[in-house]
């Protein structure tokens, strides 16, 4: 590597052959090592990653946060760069990260990166849907959460967070069909592993929250600046968030039905009572005054 800054980059992968080579190439000369944690790719992801110079480790899927914690433990440096397989470090961001370590360890232990969506068609959305996830950090100060659904850590009290201005380009979807697929998968994961709300709150969200979810993405996150494509992406994102509520409500119904069936199965049916031998100890009247041991 042309520069040996003490940073390990880790990436979780599953069938990311379309872009993993570009992601590794963009950061290969920035960090000390690249660790790929693959949970069972069946395409060329592993071969491409190895050929690009990454160290590949196989690990079955543990959940979002748990998989990150496993990846953290495989790195030899304490400063970590957390990248998704579809995130490409821009030249400006690469130079900025190198400058941080030019004279030793950086002044802060956590840094936010400017995450910019790159649509399948057109230029990066540098003014729409900008996010600042915390992706460069010292694992001695903070770790990924030990959670199956959530993978974003909370900043410890008293710790200051820096922010870099170079863009991290997020090629998050191949086309709108892929975006719908991701929204569906993410909503299932969040519904199963996330915080469970009560039935009244969930019903309220199912009935009324969809327009607010769209408003959040289209207006507050600035997708209106992306034109008609932005309308489509905001609509799919809102629908995906709403799906999480619907699936949580479905889980409530399933749990209720399960309890009902379990409760009813513990009671004798009318048919079984009519077919049971009518010994005195089995008579319903005789059993009313006794403590049941069944």
Task: Report the CATH number at residue 145.
Answer: 3.90.550.10
- Shared domain check, 142 and 50: yes
The answer to whether residues 98 and 188 belong to one domain is no
Residue 150 shares a structural domain with residue 23: yes
Cα 294–chain centre separation = 46
Same domain, 42 and 90: yes
Same domain, 255 and 231: yes
**How many CB atoms are closer than 10 A to CB 7?**
23
Read off the pLDDT of each residue in 168-193 and give the average, rounded to a whole number: 92
Q: Specify whether 112 is located in the same domain as 184.
A: no
Tell whether 56 is covered by a domain: yes
Length reported for the chain: 294
CA distance 6 to 30: 10
Domain count, the chain: 2
258 domain-assigned? yes
Band of pLDDT at residue 179, cut at 50, 70 and 90: very high
Q: In this structure, is residue 270 part of a structural domain?
A: no
Give me the sign of the Cα torsion angle 184, 186, 190, 192. Answer: positive
Q: Are 87 and 173 in contact (CB under 8 A)?
A: no
Residue-wise pLDDT tens digits, 271-289: 444 454 444 443 333 333 3
The residue-averaged pLDDT of 125-153 equals 93
pLDDT band at 268 (very low <50, low <70, confident <90, very high): low
Task: Note whether 113 and 241 are same-domain residues.
Answer: no
Residues 245-273, mean pLDDT to the nearest whole number: 73
Residues 133 and 20 in one domain: yes
Domain boundary residue among 126, 153, 170?
A: 170
Same structural domain, 226 and 157: no
Residue 113 near residue 164, CB atoms below 8 Å: yes
Contact assessment for residue 112 and residue 142, using Cβ atoms and an 8 Å cutoff: no
pLDDT tens, residue by residue, 218-253: 999 999 999 999 999 999 999 999 999 999 999 999
Q: What is the pLDDT of residue 148?
A: 85
Look at residue 180 and tell me if it is in a domain.
yes
% of the chain beyond a pLDDT of 90? 77
Average pLDDT of the chain is 88
Would 100 be classed as within a structural domain? yes
Residue 68: inside a domain, yes or no?
yes
* Residues 215 and 104 occupy one common structural domain: no
Decide if pLDDT at 261 tops 70.
no
> Among 144, 170, 196, which residue terminates a domain?
170
Kind plus residue range of the DSSP H or E element containing 60: none
Structural domain that includes position 163: 5-170
- 196 band by pLDDT with thresholds 50, 70 and 90: confident
């Amino acid at each position: 590597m042309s520069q040996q800054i003490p940073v390990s980059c880790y990436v979780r992968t599953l069938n990311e052959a379309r872009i993993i080579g570009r992601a590794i190439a963009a950061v290969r000369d920035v960090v000390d090592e690249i660790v790929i944690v693959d949970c069972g790719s069946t395409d060329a992801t592993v071969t491409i990653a190895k050929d690009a110079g990454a160290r590949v480790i196989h690990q079955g899927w543990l959940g979002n946060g748990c998989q990150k914690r496993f990846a953290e433990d495989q790195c030899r440096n304490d400063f970590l760069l957390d990248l998704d397989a579809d995130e490409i470090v821009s030249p400006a961001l690469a130079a900025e990260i190198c400058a941080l370590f030019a004279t030793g360890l950086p002044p802060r232990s956590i840094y936010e990166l400017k995450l910019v969506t790159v649509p399948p068609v057109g230029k990066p959305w540098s003014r729409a849907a900008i996010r600042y996830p915390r992706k460069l950090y010292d694992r001695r100060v903070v770790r990924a959460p030990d959670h199956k659904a959530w993978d974003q850590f909370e900043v410890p009290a008293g710790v200051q967070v820096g922010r870099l201005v170079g863009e991290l380009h997020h090629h998050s979807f191949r086309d709108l069909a892929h975006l719908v697929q991701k929204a569906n998968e993410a909503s299932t994961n969040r519904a199963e592993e996330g915080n469970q709300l009560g039935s009244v709150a969930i019903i309220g969200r199912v009935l009324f929250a969809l327009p607010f979810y769209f408003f959040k993405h289209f207006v507050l996150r600035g997708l209106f600046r992306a034109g008609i494509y932005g309308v489509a992406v905001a609509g799919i994102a809102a629908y995906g968030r709403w799906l999480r509520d619907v699936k949580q409500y479905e889980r409530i119904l399933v749990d209720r039905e399960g309890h009902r069936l379990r409760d009813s199965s513990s009671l004798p049916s009318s048919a079984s009572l009519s077919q049971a031998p009518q010994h005195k100890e089995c008579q319903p009247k005789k059993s009313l005054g006794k403590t049941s041991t069944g």
